[in-house]
Structure 1
Amino acid sequence: MFKIGALALALSIQGASGSATARALANGSNDAHPSLALSDLERALTINNRYRGLVNVPERPFWLTGANAFAYRRTSHGEQQFMRVDAATGLKRAAFDQARLAAGLNEASHKSYQAGDLPFERFELTEDGRRLDFLIEQVRWSCDVASYACTSTKLDVEAPEFQLSHYYTPPAENIPDQRSVSPDGKWIVYIKNYNVFLRSKDGLQDVALSRDGSEGNYYVFSTLNWSPDSRHLAAYRVRPGYKREVPYLDSSTDRLQREHSTLVYPKPGDVLPLPQPVLFEIASQRQVAIDDALFSNPFELSPLRWWADGRGFTFEYNQRGHQLYRLVEVDAATARARSIIDETSKTFVDYQPLVMDQEGTGKIFRYDVDDGKEIIWASERDGHEHLYLFDGRTGALKNQITSGEWVVRGVNHVDPVKRQIWFEASGMNPGEDPYFVHAYRIGFDGEGLTELTPEPANHHVEFSPDGRYYVDIWSRIDLPPRMTLYRAIDNAKLMQVETADTSELVAAGWQPPLSFHAKGRDGKTDIWGVIHLPANFDPKKKYPVVENIYAGPQGSFAPKSFSRRTEPLTQLGFVVVQIDGMGTNNRSRAFHDVAWKNLKDAGFPDRILWHKAAAARYPWYDISNVGIFGWSAGGQSAVGALLFHPEFYKVAVANSGCYDNRIDKIWWNEQWMGWPVGIEYSQSSAIDNAYRLRGKLMIVVGEMDHNVDPSSSLQLADRLIKAGKDFDMVYVPGADHGAPGIYTERKLLDFFVRNILGQTPPDWHAKRTELQKSKSSR
């Protein structure tokens, strides 16, 4: 009974906050802060909707298939427009008739989409130019550009295109009607009785190529892969791993009763599927064994890829524990496996693809030159992400292509004839924000490095499929976007496509954040972040500080490009900051390694020094009662701030956090926390360290969170109760990851107003506000 009563008290949204005003003032809150009215909080919740239509902001362009043209979406006066630009002529026009498309889409979907708010960001144009294809949620739509009649196909979200991964193992299926035809058209292969069968086109021959398949170790049809010369076939045989499922009960349905469902959700330490590549020789109709010594403990194996001349195939071996990533080749004539390139690390190999995405990128890039005679490969082996040229036949390193104390952030285009690479990188220019991305060109031999984007800003370029043109879109947090078209051969500027105008936005009260940097824990490395100033900022006053944290090692998160978005808390008189401490991505290898087996660190030693430096620089920057909030990995860090650094952080809101990395998804957590699961998981666990809690904490969790197992939040609550700790909890029925919606946003505002400003939030029930009339209460 005691536990039930305690939980009921903890779940009471305002429980444990009865004397919040007195406590917040004792913690150093600014008692001179003006009293807030309900209209102030309403403004905070709606400010970004107001700003949305006040500036024309172009988004990233994308090139259209079969045309020397690119398209992009822009927002103008609150409406979204898709534009198309012909690179050769410079003609800019509407990409399609949005009103007719909306009408056709509404007729086919029985929805009410608006022409100025179509529910997709990009589209594909078929090669004949007659149809537009795009995705809405998990449905692929195709619309005729003459009649605007639309049809749809639902995607199978459970089955990836390559049906074999650490999180998805296809079921054992025997469907003879599923067939793969050889390139020369003479043979058909299919799966029967868990084995691979070969049938001649005339049907006279029908033989089993394999006999070792079984219900517990079977061949997967989607992995069948013919050699280009039709002489060999390769495939994966897979032994399934442990199928862990997370149960869900959805209490917020259209029915009276709860609905039960499950989600396949591997967690750290689980037994994984074991794929084994297998080679078949068609002429002799026999299976040839491949020794797995070079890939015996896979976290994952990539799809099989044949060389064009049929001499063999390759795959990439990601060893469990992520300290070895290997490019393996199998010789078709002998079935001998060899390692072409080994990527090793004493901490982790960031095995996700190298892509130009600040908030989520790995370090793996491979480009085969002349059917694998040479291979361009990305690596951090010298301490920074750079490009290397390998001999594909011998595996020998020919030369390092890029080098220096800066990092390659993406490869845009490779010209194997001119032997040139166009790529994006950051950190090359002294005195500039080291996260600013610029575009460059360089030769395979490492000579002729040329900068293409000299403006001190954050750039992104998109190349036409034929490499003749590129579009550069660039901005800064204080500079709205520009979009320019260039010719690649001589970098000649062909057209100024877009220049955003912020005059209306500034007139409405928008102000850009400040960029700020200070030395980190080593006394040498600059830590960069941004400061969002409060509305009606007066430098003669003092303002309380709240940190918006996300410290996931997969990216960096302090904004570098322009955004009209403002932090809602600034409308209530708070300074809000975002910082990239050590352990995050897009800097040096040593900077990144801080996260390894140590997610509780979250860069806090750097963040605290950054805050203190900002307070020393700016008299208005008040760190006497610092708050912090975050969601997902940021939620984990927000709780960690109160557990491991309560001398500095006093108030936290943690939304949808993974509070013990053993409870969360396998890929993200084994990548950073390592495998086998060790004591480090417990050391970083908020659940195991719940007894340390000091300060004011609010936990937010969605009942149907499919990203982070919601039991993580409930286990943290249970452990806090057992430790006798006071906290608030918001449990949102039916909500997914982040528990999005006005209700949770409002609870966050209220919590900081109460526990930092020391004020009682206005009564939301006092009157029916415009916000309540136009928004859901959740």
Structure 2
Amino acid sequence: MLKPALILLGLAGVLAAQGTRADYERAARMKALVTAELGQMALRPTWLEDGSAFWYRKGLPGGGAAWIRVEARSGARRPAFDHAALAAALARVTGRPVDAERLPLQDLAFLDGGKRLRFRTDEGWWSIDPRKGAVSPVQPPPEAPPAPRPDDDPPPRRTAAPVRSPDGLKTAQLRDANIVVRTLGGKELFRTQDGDTQNPYTGALDWSPDGRSLVAQRTTVVPVRKVTFVESSPKDQLQPKVHVHDYAKPGDPLPVVRPVLIRLEGGGRAFPADETLAPTPYFGYGEDLDIHWAKDGSRFFYVYNQRGHQVLRVIAVDAATGASSAVVDERSATFIDYSGKQFLDFLDDTGELVWMSERDGWNHLYLVDSRTGQVKNAITRGPWVVRRVLHVDREKRQILFLAGGLVPGQDPYQLHLARVGLDGAGLTVLTQGDGTHTVTLSPDRRAFVDVWSRVDQAPVAELRRTSDGARIAEVERWNPDALLKAGWRLPERFVAKGRDGRTDIHGVIYRPSTYDPARRYPVIEYIYAGPHGAFAPKAFTHQPLHADLTELGFILVCIDGMGTNWRSKAFHDVCWQNLGDAGFPDRILWMKAAAAHDPAMDLGRVGIFGGSAGGQDALRGLLAFGDFYKAGVADCGCHDNRMDKVWWNEQWMGWPVGPAYAEQSNVTNAHRLRGDLLLLVGETDTNVDPASTLQVVNALVKADRDFEMLVVPGSDHGTMRIPHVERRLKDFFVRSLLGVKPRS
């Protein structure tokens, strides 16, 4: 049965040809086309070790590929090797035909300056000299450790093996929870006596440059919370499996790691670190301190991150006395974004350090005297943010970095490469073009490859000089003709004022290929308001999840409201102990302004969906703003910040755990549900405790609220990319917002 509100809209064209089987089929075709075309636009340059050239894989129409080499000085382009000759050589050794435009090359590496290629096919690993054309089998390269994800903890530096001193005469080693120092001949020089199973020395050892001292680390061990879940349908057995893993949550006791200075002169002595400047350090399980010794061995430094993330210090410890002093003392009344905006680099020859801080309200770099702690000068300044430091040149005393908001008149989230002197002089923007820039520096940093685009402009790849930003050559320029001929519509960037009436809120609007401005379309927001980043797409090749929803008769929007990252500190601070806000006041104002701009946007029928923190946000929209949002899909949401991982939630909600945690919990507020809700959860989610979703279910049942739910057996974090779940999400919105039977 159609909803009354939709029946009243009647002949206005709202229901015609929306959510039908033809729409689903067109959506599938459009998704396949967009995925293929955008995949052809990817350019990932790999520089040769000497910086003389780089190579990249170029997608060809129809799914083929070619490998191109570009010379750094001239920008001259040519095939990286003879594709036909390699195809013929591979055919000879594999005994099957090989298409020169579809070479089955995986893990390709250019060795010896490009004189030799190593690659993998389904048959094994191979090497070829492009000049001779002969392919020969080779042993696979040593396995590299997996690249860390942004949310991974740093790998521990612990080792049971002896660590040799810089003078090569001594070793230090962890033994029975203590540290033993010996000569190379095995004579014991010093042994700690106070380590035990509850307070062991960890084994992360850092010798002083002169070999007279070393820093060991001692850990206070605490119980680790365990999360248990049941895998109902394991692949290797009939009966369910029970899984248990370590998972600290907000407020849990955490290990405490402190440095211990060991001086070897006079028979040896251990100096435990003074706790006055470091009373409540924050550490995850398995983490170590990152120790940096002064060049002369007179002091060592470490970073103290106070639990609650409102104090961040660089502490210096005198190697002669063990006395501690604060070289940098960063404080915030809200939070310090240690996970996204921390940068520290020691300039040992000059006794300086480069430090990142939001102390003036924007994320910038500062030059600090590492002896006195005095700020010598701000390196960068202005109403824009440093996003990432790429290189500190000690000889030229310059820094290469990526920044957002640096170019006036452009979207403040767009990244540009810039250079500045350590004295703050000579700020130069090295990238050109109104778009967001992905930069790959050559190993010698004399040149860089710049791939830039916007959501409404296809990518351009350029080779530029780092000295002045001058363009050496245009490498590639893509166009979206195939997409446009198929009816795909360029997304629209849209800006409206936020809740304060002054701040620009940026977002993107996606419309169907069948868009008719005379019709009315329900609006669906794809949300992720995690404060660690900003998420509305900026690059042409970045498509939001399920952008093909538009083809079913919807307009899709993505918005970055207040409380998300990469604007001013005040913009970011909106999230402080306030994750339930999720920028909704700004998002709703933005959509109202967008609907005034485009009356085809029907704000009487607004849906919302997201995963993880976005799942938390999607449900929050129905609980706190149910007068605006009429339907939502929440996937693997961290619905109660007391139930989720410790580091992410204490970063934004604070520590100790206070009343804001419960006040903004989706569980606490479940009785306020309005609108249609579909809950999704992965049965074996190791990122967010699946019980977080089930506790929402419990509260909804107790409040007698109607909802739908899908538990996906065997799925880890994030289920919306699973084909069945994707269909269920689309069907849900078609039923709820269009009021029709899917694929009818």
Q: Match of 1:86?
A: 71
Q: Match of 2:321?
A: 334
How far apart in 2 are the matches of 1:259 and 1:131? 45
Q: Match of 1:237?
A: 218
426, 434, 447: which is aligned to 2:404? 426
How far apart in 2 are the matches of 1:238 and 1:640? 39
Q: Match of 2:374?
A: 396
How far apart in 2 are the matches of 1:128 and 1:233? 43
How far apart in 1 are the matches of 2:279 and 2:114? 47
Structure 2: 5+ residue stretches without partners? 95-100, 130-135
Q: Match of 1:184?
A: 167
User: Are positions 1:323 and 2:310 aligned together?
Assistant: yes
Q: Match of 1:149?
A: 138
**Partners of 2:179 and 2:192 within 8 A in 1:** yes
User: Are positions 1:545 and 2:523 aligned together?
Assistant: yes
484, 487, 496: which is aligned to 1:509? 487
Q: Which amino acid aligns with 1:742?
A: P
Q: Compute the displacement of 1:606 (Å).
A: 0.4
How far apart in 2 are the matches of 1:340 and 1:587? 27
Q: Match of 1:477?
A: 455
How far apart in 2 are the matches of 1:160 and 1:478? 31
630, 633, 637: which is aligned to 2:613? 633
Q: Compute the displacement of 1:565 (Å).
A: 4.0
**Partners of 2:455 and 2:537 within 8 A in 1:** yes
How far apart in 2 are the matches of 1:744 and 1:628? 16
How far apart in 2 are the matches of 1:703 and 1:59? 36
Q: Match of 1:348?
A: 335
Structure 1: 5+ residue stretches without partners? 1-18, 108-113, 135-140, 353-361, 764-778
715, 722, 727: which is aligned to 1:735? 715
Count of matched residue pairs: 713
How far apart in 2 are the matches of 1:334 and 1:127? 51
TM-score, structure 1 as length reference: 0.85
Q: Match of 2:132?
A: none
Question: 3-state SS of the aligned residue for 1:237?
Answer: strand
Q: Match of 1:624?
A: 604
For the structure 1 residues 79 and 261, does the alpha-carbon distance in structure 2 shift closer, same or farther, using more than 3 Å as the test?
A: farther
How far apart in 1 are the matches of 2:213 and 2:111? 36
**Partners of 1:519 and 1:525 within 8 A in 2:** yes
**Partners of 2:189 and 2:268 within 8 A in 1:** no
Q: Which amino acid aligns with 1:351?
A: Y
Q: Match of 1:10?
A: none
Q: Compute the displacement of 1:578 (Å).
A: 0.2
Question: 3-state SS of the aligned residue for 1:422?
Answer: strand
How far apart in 2 are the matches of 1:633 and 1:129? 48
How far apart in 2 are the matches of 1:341 and 1:587? 24
Residues 170-201 of structure 1 deviation map (CA, whole Å, 9 limit, x = unaligned): 99x9x5xx221222221122222111112211
Q: Which amino acid aligns with 2:298?
A: R
32, 45, 51: which is aligned to 1:61? 45
How far apart in 2 are the matches of 1:314 and 1:145? 48
For the structure 1 residues 490 and 579, does the alpha-carbon distance in structure 2 shift closer, same or farther, using more than 3 Å as the test?
A: closer
1:102-117 matched pairs, under 5 angstroms? none
Question: 3-state SS of the aligned residue for 2:174?
Answer: strand
1:711-726 matched pairs, under 5 angstroms? 711-726=691-706
Q: Match of 1:358?
A: none
**Partners of 2:489 and 2:512 within 8 A in 1:** no
Residues 281-315 of structure 1 deviation map (CA, whole Å, 9 limit, x = unaligned): 23434233131221221113631122333222211
578, 602, 605: which is aligned to 2:558? 578
Q: Compute the displacement of 1:82 (Å).
A: 5.5
User: Are positions 1:376 and 2:361 aligned together?
Assistant: no
Structure showing greater relative contact order (alpha-carbon pairs closer than 8 Å, 6 or more residues apart): 1
User: Are positions 1:644 and 2:624 aligned together?
Assistant: yes
Q: Compute the displacement of 1:759 (Å).
A: 0.2
For the structure 1 residues 297 and 132, does the alpha-carbon distance in structure 2 shift closer, same or farther, using more than 3 Å as the test?
A: farther
> Percent of pairs identical after alignment?
45
For the structure 1 residues 294 and 65, does the alpha-carbon distance in structure 2 shift closer, same or farther, using more than 3 Å as the test?
A: farther
Q: Compute the displacement of 1:652 (Å).
A: 0.4
Question: 3-state SS of the aligned residue for 1:44?
Answer: helix
User: Are positions 1:608 and 2:588 aligned together?
Assistant: yes
How far apart in 1 are the matches of 2:118 and 2:306? 41
Q: Match of 2:665?
A: 685
For the structure 1 residues 598 and 451, does the alpha-carbon distance in structure 2 shift closer, same or farther, using more than 3 Å as the test?
A: same
For the structure 1 residues 26 and 580, does the alpha-carbon distance in structure 2 shift closer, same or farther, using more than 3 Å as the test?
A: farther
For the structure 1 residues 291 and 103, does the alpha-carbon distance in structure 2 shift closer, same or farther, using more than 3 Å as the test?
A: farther
Q: Match of 1:52?
A: 35
How far apart in 2 are the matches of 1:169 and 1:370? 25
For the structure 1 residues 124 and 186, does the alpha-carbon distance in structure 2 shift closer, same or farther, using more than 3 Å as the test?
A: farther
208, 217, 220: which is aligned to 2:202? 220
**Partners of 2:430 and 2:468 within 8 A in 1:** no
**Partners of 2:294 and 2:348 within 8 A in 1:** no
Q: Match of 1:259?
A: 241
Moved more, 205-214 or 734-743: 205-214
How far apart in 1 are the matches of 2:144 and 2:230? 25
**Partners of 1:268 and 1:666 within 8 A in 2:** yes
TM-score, structure 2 as length reference: 0.89
Q: Match of 2:298?
A: 311
**Partners of 1:598 and 1:673 within 8 A in 2:** yes
Q: Match of 2:579?
A: 599
For the structure 1 residues 670 and 193, does the alpha-carbon distance in structure 2 shift closer, same or farther, using more than 3 Å as the test?
A: same
Question: 3-state SS of the aligned residue for 2:327?
Answer: strand
For the structure 1 residues 131 and 372, does the alpha-carbon distance in structure 2 shift closer, same or farther, using more than 3 Å as the test?
A: farther
Moved more, 695-704 or 141-150: 141-150
